[in-house]
Amino acid sequence: MTSNDTHILVVDDDVRLSHLLSRYLSENGYLVSTARDAAEARRQLDSMAFDLIVLDVMMPGESGIALTRRLRVDNDVPILLLTAMDDSQDRVIGLDAGADDYVGKPFEPRELLLRIASVLRRAPRGQGSESRPTRFGRFAFDADRQELSRDGVIIHLTGAEAGLLALLVLRAGQTIAREEMARESGNPGNLRSIDVQITRLRRKIEDDPRLPRHLQTVRGRGYVLWTEP
């Protein structure tokens, strides 16, 4: 996917910032729509498909994090949060809600472009594939589609989750350091975000996430995914 056919929804109640973001992203080849709050964003999502949402956390009414949680029930569109919060714990809450990445305000426009490109690279692809899914227990992961299923039923993954699971599947049986995972995710140095994504993946691929059978921690080294031969 190139930026020329990528449609981004910018959701922010700050009209001035929303206008500036829309113009900047448009100048860099993206199709852009805007919404001032969560309700308007949902209406737009009901009427058209988007490749990515740039979503402000602090909005009147339903917050960006609340909207993220609501969307993640049945929608895997990549979400990049804009947050003015300095507390890293608040950012972790956003990731745990299902966001793919976040950018702190104020931010450099170039940084936003790089983050958007990174999230889009990790987004699940919809093209058909003849590859054989990798199986672990009742679960199967198609690396080409970046599609997870349990007993044949599709399980929604965020772009970040799909990208991380694809890396684990590619290196199945090998311990991967958190630092390498962070580099591969396009967010080097943010090890806490990897732990959050691992926790979310375990909820989706383990019968009991508290006693993981497939996605295990190798203390002091990283994580390993055990698959079936």
The domain boundary, picked from 122, 145, 179, lies at 122
Residue pLDDT, tens place only, 5-30: 789 999 999 999 999 999 999 999 99
At residue 37, does pLDDT exceed 90? yes
Nearest Cα to Cα of residue 213 among 139, 132, 134, 133: 139
Residues 103 and 146 in one domain: no
Number of domains in the chain: 2
Average pLDDT of span 152-174:
87
Residues 80 and 177 in one domain: no
Residues 11 and 117 in one domain: yes
The mean-pLDDT minimum among 45-54, 86-95, 210-219 falls in: 86-95
Nearest Cα to Cα of residue 9 among 28, 58, 21, 101: 21
Residues 69 and 108 in one domain: yes
Residues 17 and 118 in one domain: yes
* Mean pLDDT, rounded, of the chain: 86
At residue 2, does pLDDT exceed 70? no
Structural domain range at position 151 = 134-225
Residues 77 and 150 in one domain: no
The domain boundary, picked from 102, 122, 142, lies at 122
More confident residue, 86 or 122: 122
Residues 173 and 221 in one domain: yes
Is residue 59 a part of any domain in this protein? Answer: yes
Residue 34 confidence (pLDDT): 93
Q: Which residues contact 208 (CB under 8 A, 6 or more apart)?
A: none
DSSP lists the bridge partners of residue 224 as: 216
Q: What is the pTM of this model?
A: 0.65
User: Residue 140 and residue 134: Cα distance in Å, rounded?
Assistant: 5
At residue 144, does pLDDT exceed 90? no
Residue pLDDT, tens place only, 85-101: 655 666 788 888 989 88
More confident residue, 155 or 188: 155
Residues 138 and 117 in one domain: no
Residues 70 and 108 in one domain: yes
**Which structure tokens are listed for 176?**
């991967």
Is residue 128 a part of any domain in this protein? Answer: no
Angle, helices 191-205/88-97, rounded to nearest 10 degrees: 30
